[in-house]
Amino acid sequence: MITLDDVRKWDEHDELKEYKQEFFLKDATIYMDGNSLGLLSRRSEAALHQSLDDWREHGIEGWTQAAEPWYYMSEKLGQMTAPLLGASPDQVINTGSITTNLHQLLATFYTPEKGRTKIIGDELNFPSDIYALKSQMALHHLDPDEHFIPIESSDGYTLKEEDIIAHMKEDVALLLLPSVLYRSGQLLDMKILTKEAHKHGILVLFDLAHSIGAVPHQLDEWEVDFAVWCTYKYLNSGPGGTGGLYVNRRHLGTHPGLAGWFSSDKEKQFDMNHELTPSSNAGAFQIGTPHILSSAPLLGSLEMFLEAGIGNIRKKSLQLTQLFMDLIHQELEDFGFNIRNPLENERRGGHVCLVHEEAARICKALKSEGVVPDYRSPNVIRLAPVAFYTSYEDVYEVVRILKEIVQEEKHKSFKNERDIIA
């Protein structure tokens, strides 16, 4: 039996507890939606203000004279992100958005030839990835119904690695999968999937949107070919924050499929030559001018990740999600809730997937009680206790409020349908 005294003792010994003061948290509100949009930190706010001050002070000279020169900011952020990925800095760049980066990598490295044209994906992936994949196939005049292999889920929430591996054949060009499934929070075994794909000559591209900042990666060690991610979830860069991409060193030097101004070697960029000399590092896969004001907040946020260490963040994240699951079993078993994320630490990302037939109205009731969850159609309540700003008592309180809502049927006053943004 887990008690309030228990969780308060855990909070006393939490090595990351001081970071909660770094974030702007509303009074009487418990934020459980950091896997959709992370909160603003004081350091991110300061970094953004610094770039604004540099703009005011230096004008165009800010590209080289700013406190953090804008011309090199994307590379600096790549260097700061690399430890979260288990990657060397030259393979990482902060640029674009997750979907434009996906388009860039597909346009560059998906080169279907006779006999090897197919892409393995999955039926549970976030729609944006599938839109990009299908549109790139269309540009090659390929029918996705014939050349896209969507791995089916046996339960509607998770995937089996053995099912994915079974479809790896010599006609497959590329594997595109999420590291963590956005609904269920399942963490796929990226290491074994990469190893098996490479046995068949298949390139491997992971979408790290729901793992970066919550789960350690070893992309170099696993020999992953490519990865893309957004930064506004666990990395707390702000709405629409600039994304990132990883290209394994063995692919560096490939001419970008979508070449642009900032694909250039920085020493030659302002020669204004109409023949592109691409950067020798991951910067070659940039396209347009960096979005400075959407990148600057990461300077402050990533500083905290480097201080705390992704291993410590993962340790607390697992403890928080385990506490959630234990309390759900303890308090909510009689109210129609089911946990659909994997229970094992090595298979679970950073959020809990709680399923209920009245999930939409329960989420609305939670918000009315000061808890910010996330709803995903058709029946998923996602609860993301972010290590930096969630306490163990916060988790205890959320479950207490959930129990009160269903016991007193407070959710019945809301419609069981999603809002425009869910």
Burial class (CB in 10 A: 0-12, 13-18, 19+), 23: buried
Confidence band for 418, pLDDT divided at 50, 70 and 90: confident
Q: What is the mean pLDDT of residues 381-408?
A: 98
CATH topology for 46-307? Answer: Aspartate Aminotransferase; domain 2 (3.40.640)
Q: How far is CA 89 from CA 80, 92, 225, 251, in A?
A: 8, 5, 15, 15
Per the CB < 8 A criterion, the answer to whether 37 and 421 are in contact is: no
> Which of 356, 34, 339 is closest to 210 using CA atoms?
34
The tens digit of pLDDT for each residue in 185-220 reads 999 999 999 999 999 999 999 999 999 999 999 999
Apex 362 CA angle, 399 and 343, nearest 5? 50
Whether pLDDT at 421 is above 80 = no
Q: What is the pLDDT of residue 99?
A: 97
Burial class (CB in 10 A: 0-12, 13-18, 19+), 174: buried
Confidence band for 416, pLDDT divided at 50, 70 and 90: confident
> Which of 215, 209, 175 is closest to 193 using CA atoms?
175
Q: How many Å apart are CA 346 and CA 407, to the nearest integer? A: 34
Per the CB < 8 A criterion, the answer to whether 393 and 11 are in contact is: yes
4-31+309-411 CATH, one of 3.40.50.970, 3.40.50.1780, 3.40.50.2000, 3.90.1150.10: 3.90.1150.10
Domain boundaries, the chain: 4-31+309-411, 46-307
Q: What is the DSSP letter of 329?
A: H
**Rounded to the nearest 5°, which phi and psi values hold at 32?**
-120, 25
Q: What is the pLDDT of residue 296?
A: 98
Q: What is the pLDDT of residue 112?
A: 96
Listing DSSP states for 27-41 in one string gives TT-EE-BTTTSPPPB
The tens digit of pLDDT for each residue in 234-273 reads 999 999 999 999 999 999 999 999 999 999 999 999 999 9
> Which of 224, 265, 230 is closest to 88 using CA atoms?
224
Per the CB < 8 A criterion, the answer to whether 353 and 408 are in contact is: no
**3: Cβ contacts below 8 Å, ≥ 6 apart:** none
Model pTM? 0.96
When the pLDDT of each residue in the chain is averaged and rounded to a whole number, the result is 97
Q: What percent of the chain has pLDDT over 90?
A: 97
The tens digit of pLDDT for each residue in 107-164 reads 999 999 889 999 999 999 999 999 999 999 999 999 999 999 999 999 999 999 999 9
Whether pLDDT at 420 is above 80 = no
Q: What is the pLDDT of residue 205?
A: 98
